[in-house]
Structure 1
Amino acid sequence: MARLRWTQVLQSLGLEFWLFLPLLGLGFWLTSGILTDQMLARSNKVTLYLEGDRQPKQPTRTVQSITVLIHAQQGRSTVNIQTANSSLTALTFEFPTTQPEQIEAAISRELGLPRDRIRALVRYQSKQGHRE
């Protein structure tokens, strides 16, 4: 009988509706929290599709000739490279060595070509113009 009285009091005040709203809000809050945690914990698959951060490949250069001018007194070498199929038709490098092996290794690193290919194209000159 006491229970019936409480339900009548709640119905007369309309509290059944007002007591249901906090429970409904709590349910929405918990559900949204769970969904948010799942969305934030999910791995980001966008990186699988984005490849814009990669370096563009260098255009292949066809090396026509390599001339090395050795400055023995200064301990350095100047390398002039003639290329084709590139926007740059001439490249110039300066290396702090006069040893042919070290010069060929440095040219190989700069151009990304094998050393035997460099060795076949290179022509050495001293500062006075004598071929070696």
Structure 2
Amino acid sequence: MSLPRWLQALRPLWLEFWLPLPLLGIIFWLGGNVVTSQVLSRPYSTVSKLQADAQQEVQLSVTVLVIKAEIEKNKGLTSVEVKTADPELKTLEFEFPVTEVSQVEARIAQKLGLSREDTKKLVRYQLKN
């Protein structure tokens, strides 16, 4: 089967290979646009919403060395400083709106995940008026 004369002239220039490439590029470009518009126009729903105003509760597992509690009766607050053995987290600070020793110990034990007995052994109190 013989090729037309103009096609035979193009054969040494590899134009029979290069001429269909722009056509293939246009087909891929149009196909990509169709797929992109289909994907972007599809409705979606978010499962979990970001809650920036909610405070997160974090559980820490640290070795507590000493707990220093400063009870300020006139302000009705107790400032607590916890020294730990962790090199990255050396101190923790809490402030509780209670001044009774038993309530302070209960709050510290709850925050640190300690027993009440362990908290009583580690805590040192300072009263301020």
Whether contact under 8 Å (2:60, 2:112) holds in the other structure is no
Give the corresponding residue for 2:115. Answer: 114
| 3-state SS of 1:108 partner | helix
Give the structure with the larger helix fraction. Answer: 1
**Using the alignment, how far apart are the partners of 1:72 and 1:123 within structure 2?**
16
Matched with 1:45 is: none
Aligned residues: 72
CA contact (8 A) 2:77 2:97 kept: yes
RMSD in angstroms over aligned alpha carbons? Answer: 1.8
* 2-structure distance, mates of 1:83, 1:77: 19
Contact in 2 for aligned 1:61/1:86 (Cα 8 Å): no
- Report the counterpart of residue 124 of structure 2 in structure 1: 123
Normalised by the length of structure 2, the TM-score is 0.52
Structure 1 residue 126, shift from structure 2 partner: 1.2
> Residues 79 and 94 of structure 1 are in contact (CA less than 8 Å); yes or no, is this contact kept in structure 2?
yes
CA displacement 1:53-89 (0-9 Å, x = unmatched): xxxx955211000000011101110000000125210
- Inter-partner Cα distance in structure 2 for 1:60 and 1:78: 21
**1:1-132 matched pairs, under 5 angstroms:** 58=59, 60-85=61-86, 87-127=88-128
Structure 2, unmatched stretches of 5+, are 1-57
Cα separation, partners in 2 of 1:109 and 1:59, compared to 1, 3 Å: closer
Q: Which has the higher contact order (CA 8 A, sep 6+)?
A: 2
What runs of 5+ residues in structure 1 fail to find an aligned partner? 1-56
Q: Which amino acid aligns with 1:80?
A: E
Segments of 4+ moved more than 6 angstroms = none
TM-score of the superposition, structure 1-length normalised? 0.51
1:70–1:78 CA contact under 8 A, matched in 2? yes
